[in-house]
Structure 1
Amino acid sequence: MIFDTEETREYRHHLARWVDERLKPKAEELDHSGEFSFELFREIGELGYLGTMYPEEAGGSGLQQPYTCFTILCEELARASVGFAAGVCMQGSTATHTLYAWGDEEVKTNYFLPALRGEKVGAFAITEPNAGSDAASLRTKATKTDGGWLLNGTKVFTTNGTVADFITVVATTDPTLKAKGLELFLVDTKTKGFSVGRKLEKFAVHCSDTAELVFENVFVPENRRLNNGAGSSFLNAYQALTVDRIFTAALAVGVGRAAYDASLQYIQERQQFGKPVGQFQAVQFRQVEMLAKLESASLYTYQAALLADQSKDITREAALAKIIAAENCNEVCHMAMQNYGGWGLMNEFPVQRFLRDSYFPMVGGGTGDIMRMIVARQMGL
């Protein structure tokens, strides 16, 4: 396959070893505690993985296939813990991309580079209580003032929200302009007027920090308005949000792989009626169906990543990858639960966590219905 190169094989090999030795043994503990692991996060930064998407001269890894490699990062981490993977993937993509693309030297020195090293945690805040996929309806307001801007509003579902050192906030400078009035503002979480409303509790991805954020006359200096002067900075950043759909698809592939592997091992060991349950045709057919769904999800996800590396328009492919991977791998996790039978309901086996976490890629970054709307528009409908 074109996306299977020496660079990507070496990248996956070293990363998979770290996942198996460091992340996987702690995955259950992280799920039970629901805590963000600063220790593992900093390790990922020290190893250079947070700089996967960026050129060497900017402080990144300088890879030839950055999007494919970052897709591998999301998949491999999710194979052990989707919750941990979600926070890392936010850090290495959307939370830092806007700083890399439009931040000045002060921003890059104080936020971007420390973020790549894992020394600072970043977040990207767009969703609001009454505005999710309909970004043009956002109410968080940015008002011009001497030397900068004042932000007022509330955000929800912000990944890394309670642990972030900085947050890129989407706010409107003119509600009458709809999406064209949206701009990006870099907020240091130590700034007066910023607060965490509450940490949001979820039934899945427990160790992925998710928060409600409040902005009350938060001052943002002019240089931290992330805009290169070419229209709405949010619309300019939309490409990064599009690519993120591929990374969300990779999270689904990762948890699907975990469920498939666990199920395959279980049906070879579990004995009923004097033989392994994997020798019963119904179970065999289910396991094969799991493999078929997983392989199709993986192939389409990496095809989309390859197109991104080739600087192709991926609007349709990224949305399709998210639909195919999220829905296929959720079904894979359901079938793994069936193969486990009653033991699948027990917390001592991870298959119940895989199933819970498989719902995150179906919703995070846009629901399946929103993805279908995007594809339909690309079809001219």
Structure 2
Amino acid sequence: MTSTPRDRRISQRIGAIAESATLKVDAKAKALKAEGRPVIGFGAGEPDFPTPDYIVEVAAAAARDPKNHRYSPAGGLPELKQAIVEKTLRDSGLEITPANVLVTNGGKQAVYEAFATMLDPGDEVIVPSPYWTTYPESIQLAGGVTVEVFADETQGYKVTVDQLEQARTERTKVLLFVSPSNPTGAVYTADEIRAIGEWAEQHDLWVVTDEIYEHLTYDGVETGSLPVLCPDLADHTVVLNGVAKTYAMTGWRVGWMIGPADLVKAATNLQSHATSNVANVSQRAAIAALAGDLSAVEAMHSAFDRRRRTIVSMLNEIDGVECPTPEGAFYVYPSVKGLLGKEYAGVRIETSAELAEFILEQVEVAVVPGEAFGPSGYLRLSYALGDDDLVEGISRLQKLFA
């Protein structure tokens, strides 16, 4: 019997999308907690701090102002665009105008709209791996093809120009560049960024660079923004950013993309039909965040740095785990290949996906397996959770694999 259009309930394009692995792990951990189980979640990349009070107060006042109860420009409030212009110059040294800015519903919308605006069917995007789960899904939705380039722990999870060149074909249009990295915490040095930027310029490629963890670097690593370090590439670069990680505002849903005015205008047209404007109260809160000083950010940074050192030290005490020290973001990405191919509690574990499931079942600790970000053999753990929970969670792993 042949199928009819009505029988094909889900389109192939949407049916091919994989569920966000990080959100799936976080949801499962929260569901188990709701059942009263003492689950400790290392899954979500979400600061455990509240949004700073001065930002919340501005939002509360904005909610009472009738002007924020109405539609506003699809591309963002003019005041927020100007705040992004000033913040970008202050923090990155990149000079832009409001015409170069599109305010989006969180960073994920910026990722999708950038690729949707840039790619035609079959265009290839080189994506360094390990990668954040949303990148290849957004590329696929936009009709593009993801070409993975893997860098393991022996390379500090950083790809080389030689690797990128081996992946380049006549269909390559875009390089995705992320530093600091989710999921590994790797940070490219200024010299490494320049070398990659010069390679992209030499081959007439576009670059999409995600800078949402820009303020979360450690150990004095010397880095920078790609379009500033490689000014000849600036007109072919899209910068993605947002307030979520820096200001503990994940739930406020404010991100943005910066790019050439014609590309931003096209992406704004797309957004005008998809979601229209970001919630005005959230935009007012973002203005307050960007206009304020970075004292609250510095306090969070100190806590993340302390937790980073603790989790790396504790994980490296587990026989079979190798955890490099990340220089950015708030994630560790240990190799657990030394734990695989063995039996624990009568269960043989072959993959990091099986290992993550085993850990959750045995000691009620939620981690994300490497399969979500690239090859098996790794786990991602966020240390953006309380110090006590962090120590308790890793202690459970130490006892499990003792």
The TM-score by the shorter chain falls in which range? under 0.3
TM-score, structure 2 normalization: 0.25
Structure holding more helix per residue? 1
Q: Which has the higher contact order (CA 8 A, sep 6+)?
A: 2
TM-score, structure 1 normalization: 0.25
